[in-house]
Amino acid sequence: MAKNFVRAIFPGSFDPVTNGHLDVIHRAVPLFDELVVAVVHNSHKNQLFSPKERVDMIAELIADTPNVSVESFDGLTVEYAKKRQANVILRGLRSLTDVQYEFQLAMTNRAVASIETVFIMTSERYGFTSSTLIREIASLGGDLSNLIPQNVQAQLRGRFGD
């Protein structure tokens, strides 16, 4: 029996990308034939980095990772998934707090677009991190060297003037 090609999208704001995001990406690679990191542009959120800046940061980090690409999109995730002919939406879970929201989102996506969601728990080392928390620590000049990649830390320093 031939194996079906499985393309997954990993949508998120990634503002900025964290080691937790990268952990999920690297652990997802063997599960799918192709993984697209999908940077959402949300005009309703006050985002620190432009979609292009976020795509560029992630592209640098995944450059040597086979079958992984990064691009940005506008609009509904399920519409983007359909456009990219994705079979799966990948979501990272950090804590029990994430589970209720993500479960509701996954059920809705299945109901409206017949697309499955696969969850990967982030490493316990990163379970407490979020892009919002990273931005707050960066704005106050805190040390983020254990939570984000060096290229992202340099971008944050540039943004906050450190």
Q: Among all residues, which ones are annotated catalytic? A: 21, 45, 94, 131
Extract the tokens encoding 28.
């997802």
**What CA–CA distance (Å, rounded) separates 92 from 123?**
10
Query: Is it true that the peptide bond before 51 is cis, omega within 30 degrees of 0?
Result: no
Distance of CA 129 to the CA centre of its chain: 13
Strands 68-73 and 88-93: unpaired
**What CA–CA distance (Å, rounded) separates 26 from 21?**
9
